[in-house]
């Protein structure tokens, strides 16, 4: 149903969900503005994410800058390796992503993980052409293109900065301070909802691939040796999984299982990743993703970032294509170790032992004076050799020698002569580098999926109708209130109802333009769950009642105004 997306994009523009930005200047690819309805829906989705992944999990939320200095991205590896494959048409100069070109036109499903020469070969073999002008691309070179947006911090160009390509780095670089807020206790989690920027080669599918987008990320720091997730709480969650092993088969298929079984059978290897998949699935359902069009797909080994030991994506189906909605990765100690190495700061947590431990510490005469001047250059080798002996029973060194290469000759030096000693020491704990589990959600793609999965067409009173079956929790407007006709008395009464509902914290739209049928259609199209109409009965009858119409069934009921706000608020809460 290719047309659902087309219709959705048209509806989104007409009704104020989202539209291409800077239209007055011709628009620019990959930048979208969320209109009044879209901003509200997106805000509601973000609030729902915050409730589940920050508040309910007891995690901390931070709000870091979107511009960060160059050393951050040297450490994170983004300046070196955050590239996509670019191919530029020699005729019309349109840039395309070479891997997408291959995936869209051949049977290769994961061209992103192939080396460039192989992608070039495939392009030549299949005689792939420029999607814009049709010129052949067989002889065109594929290049790496870095997706980082660069800027300068302050006047001049001596302080380069970059717009962050993910919110995560804003959490990692602040780890030395954040761990203090967590009182140095693992495990703890830090979340952030904010903008990320990637200079995508070819933004496409409206808000699914843009150059500025919103992420909601959680970095969960654990002690890899001690901490375990509460798997029991998610063991019964039913999931559709598409493991890497199935993707490699001709008849490979998704499997239906539970989180508990998937861990037990080793389908998901990291219990932490499994835990967050188990939390995410019901959450996606609660914001309105259709669970028949939702799955978790494991990354193939070539697709995985080199530091990630197990990685799964949440995917939603749109017009027959699976779209990545979120990534769940076990990142090990990669990020914190890199920042420790580049910054020199402490990206560790002090782990106190239950009881102090006695350990042996090896020490070596640091200036190697006992070796004599001819061994000076080999001092470092000697230290390394001796350190490799540390931890052994010190009485065992008697008669041991270390081998030292000098001028192509190997000298055997008795250990006793090196001043090497091993002493006992009592220590209370040690500094460890926590491991990181990262659920990383894209908000814009989720908003798109929620709208797409909510898009409905039916017939009401012989007329075609379009409506959005949005969950009350995220719908931008919860109630539309209409006076039946332009009549001062009805309008005054309707305004009173509006005030009551707003006082209950509900988002309300007042509409008195056009006939009542048109007003219902408008609210149906933005997905408003309820409409309340004030008519002559309302103002004439002894008991003040209104007509309440439900969006999906279009059923209408007469309800007293008294208590209406509370009743609707309860429905919204679920
Ligand atoms: P893709 O392969 O689609 O480019 P990715 O694997 O690079 O995405 P991650 O780095 O894992 O994406 O980012 C986490 C999430 O951020 C993604 O699951 C997605 O929802 C969202 N995201 C990434 N790039 C974009 C983009 N250009 N536009 C909108 N959302 C995006």
CA distance readout (Å), 31 to 39, 381, 397, 433, 440: 14, 57, 68, 38, 21
Q: What percent of the chain has pLDDT over 70?
A: 90
pLDDT at 549: 95
Q: Which atom of ligand 1 is nearest to the CA of 165?
A: 10
Residue 250's pLDDT band (cuts 50, 70, 90): confident
Pocket lining: 453 vs ligand 1, CB cutoff 6 Å:
no
pLDDT at 14: 95
Q: Is residue 467 included in any domain, yes or no? A: no
Q: In terms of domains, do 54 and 110 share one?
A: no
Q: Over the stretch 108-125, which tens digit does the pLDDT of each residue have?
A: 888 888 999 999 999 999
Q: How far is the CA of 353 from the centre of ligand 1 (A)?
A: 40
- Per the prediction, the chain carries an average pLDDT of 91
pLDDT at 407: 67
Q: In terms of domains, do 543 and 487 share one?
A: yes
Average pLDDT over residues 250-266: 94
Q: How far is the CA of 165 from the centre of ligand 1 (A)?
A: 10
Q: Is pLDDT of 49 > 90?
A: yes
Q: In terms of domains, do 118 and 232 share one?
A: no
Answer for the pair 122, 102: CB distance below 8 angstroms, yes or no. yes
**Domain extent for 328:** 2-82+147-334+437-444
Nearest CA to ligand 1 atom 18: 326
pLDDT at 376: 54
Give the separation between CA 2 and CA 12, rounded to whole angstroms.
16
Q: Over the stretch 465-513, which tens digit does the pLDDT of each residue have?
A: 999 999 999 999 999 999 999 999 999 999 999 999 999 999 999 999 9
Q: Is residue 237 included in any domain, yes or no? A: yes
Compute the Cα dihedral for 494, 497, 501, 504 and give only its sign: positive
pLDDT at 373: 57
Q: Which of 122, 145, 168 is the last residue of a domain?
A: 145
Give the separation between CA 557 and CA 563, rounded to whole angstroms.
14
Pocket lining: 315 vs ligand 1, CB cutoff 6 Å:
no
Q: How many domains does the chain have?
A: 4
Q: In terms of domains, do 65 and 139 share one?
A: no
Q: Over the stretch 10-46, which tens digit does the pLDDT of each residue have?
A: 999 999 999 999 999 999 999 999 999 999 999 999 9
Answer for the pair 240, 296: CB distance below 8 angstroms, yes or no. yes
Give the separation between CA 258 and CA 233, rounded to whole angstroms.
12
Nearest CA to ligand 1 atom 21: 442
Pocket lining: 169 vs ligand 1, CB cutoff 6 Å:
no
* Alpha carbon 476 to its chain's center: 23
pLDDT at 364: 62
Q: Is pLDDT of 419 > 70?
A: no
Q: Is residue 154 included in any domain, yes or no? A: yes
Here the CATH number for the domain that contains residue 544 is: 3.40.50.800
Q: Which of 128, 145, 162 is the last residue of a domain?
A: 145
Query: Which residues lie below 8 Å from residue 440, measured CB to CB, with a gap of 6+?
Result: 166, 168, 215, 217, 218, 326, 327, 328, 329
Q: Over the stretch 530-570, which tens digit does the pLDDT of each residue have?
A: 999 999 888 787 888 999 999 999 999 999 999 999 988 88
Q: In terms of domains, do 197 and 282 share one?
A: yes
Q: In terms of domains, do 172 and 320 share one?
A: yes
Q: Over the stretch 196-245, which tens digit does the pLDDT of each residue have?
A: 999 999 998 899 999 999 999 999 999 999 999 999 999 999 999 999 98
Q: How far is the CA of 59 from the centre of ligand 1 (A)?
A: 23
Q: Which of 97, 119, 145 is the last residue of a domain?
A: 145
Pocket lining: 210 vs ligand 1, CB cutoff 6 Å:
yes
pLDDT at 71: 97
Q: In terms of domains, do 188 and 283 share one?
A: yes
In the chain the first and final C-alpha atoms are separated, in Å, by 31
ipTM of this complex prediction, to 2 decimal places: 0.97
Nearest CA to ligand 1 atom 3: 324
Pocket lining: 324 vs ligand 1, CB cutoff 6 Å:
yes
Here the CATH number for the domain that contains residue 169 is: 3.30.930.10
Q: In terms of domains, do 122 and 200 share one?
A: no
Average pLDDT over residues 424-435: 91
Q: 83-92, 247-256, 513-522: lowest mean pLDDT where?
A: 247-256
Q: Is residue 152 included in any domain, yes or no? A: yes
Considering only CA atoms, which of 339, 301, 304 is closest in space to residue 434? 339
Q: 341 or 541: whose pLDDT is higher?
A: 341
């Amino acid at each position: 149903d290719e047309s659902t997306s087309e219709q959705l994009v048209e509806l989104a523009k007409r009704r104020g969900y989202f539209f291409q930005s800077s239209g007055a200047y011709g628009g620019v690819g990959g930048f979208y503005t969320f209109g009044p309805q879209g901003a509200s829906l997106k805000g509601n989705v973000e609030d729902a994410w915050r409730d589940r992944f920050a508040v309910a999990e007891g995690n901390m939320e931070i709000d870091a800058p979107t511009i960060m200095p160059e050393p951050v991205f040297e450490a994170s590896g983004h300046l070196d390796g955050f590239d996509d494959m670019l191919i530029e048409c020699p005729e019309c100069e349109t840039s395309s992503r070479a891997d997408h070109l291959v995936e869209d036109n051949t049977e290769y499903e994961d061209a992103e993980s192939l080396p460039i020469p192989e992608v070039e070969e495939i392009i030549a073999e299949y005689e792939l052409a420029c999607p814009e002008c049709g010129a052949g691309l067989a002889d065109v070179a594929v290049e790496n293109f870095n997706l980082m947006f660069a800027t300068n911090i302050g006047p001049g160009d001596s302080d380069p900065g970059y717009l962050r390509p993910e919110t995560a780095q804003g959490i990692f670089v602040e780890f030395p301070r954040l761990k203090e807020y967590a009182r140095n206790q693992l495990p703890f989690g830090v979340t952030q909802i904010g903008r990320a920027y990637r200079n995508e080669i070819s933004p496409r599918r409206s808000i699914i691939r843009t150059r500025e987008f919103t992420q909601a990320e959680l970095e969960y720091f654990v002690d890899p040796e001690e901490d375990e997730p509460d798997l029991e709480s998610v063991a019964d969650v039913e999931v559709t999984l598409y493991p890497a092993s199935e993707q490699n088969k001709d008849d490979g298929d998704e499997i239906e299982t539970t989180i508990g079984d998937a861990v037990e059978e080793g389908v998901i290897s990291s219990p932490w990743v499994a835990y967050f998949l188990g939390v995410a699935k019901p959450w996606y359902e609660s914001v309105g993703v259709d669970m028949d069009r939702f799955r978790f797909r494991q990354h193939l080994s070539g697709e995985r970032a080199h530091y990630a030991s197990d990685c799964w994506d949440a995917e939603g189906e749109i017009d027959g294509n699976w779209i990545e909605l979120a990534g769940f990765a076990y990142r090990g100690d990669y990020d914190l170790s890199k920042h420790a190495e580049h910054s020199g700061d402490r990206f560790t947590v002090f782990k106190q032992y239950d009881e102090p431990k006695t350990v042996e510490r090896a020490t070596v005469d640091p200036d190697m004076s006992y070796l004599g001047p001819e061994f000076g250059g080999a001092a470092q080798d000697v230290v390394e050799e001796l350190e490799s002996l540390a931890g052994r029973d010190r009485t065992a060194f008697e008669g041991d020698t270390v081998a030292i290469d000098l001028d192509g000759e190997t000298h055997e030096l008795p250990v006793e002569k090196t001043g090497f000693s091993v002493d006992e020491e009592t220590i209370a704990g040690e500094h460890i580098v926590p491991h990181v589990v990262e659920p990383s959600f894209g908000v814009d793609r989720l908003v798109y999926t929620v709208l797409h999965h909510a898009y409905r067409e039916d017939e009401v009173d012989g007329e075609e109708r379009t409506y959005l079956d949005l969950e009350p929790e995220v719908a931008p407007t919860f109630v539309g209130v209409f006076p039946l006709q332009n009549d001062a008395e009805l309008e005054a009464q309707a305004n009173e109802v509006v005030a009551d509902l707003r006082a209950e914290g509900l988002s309300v739209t007042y509409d008195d333009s056009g006939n009542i049928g048109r007003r219902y259609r408008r609210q149906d199209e933005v997905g408003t769950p309820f409409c309340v109409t004030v008519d002559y009965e309302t103002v004439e009858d002894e008991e003040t009642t209104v007509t309440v119409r439900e969006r999906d069934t279009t059923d209408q009921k007469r309800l007293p105004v008294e208590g209406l706000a509370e009743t609707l608020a309860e429905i919204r809460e679920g």
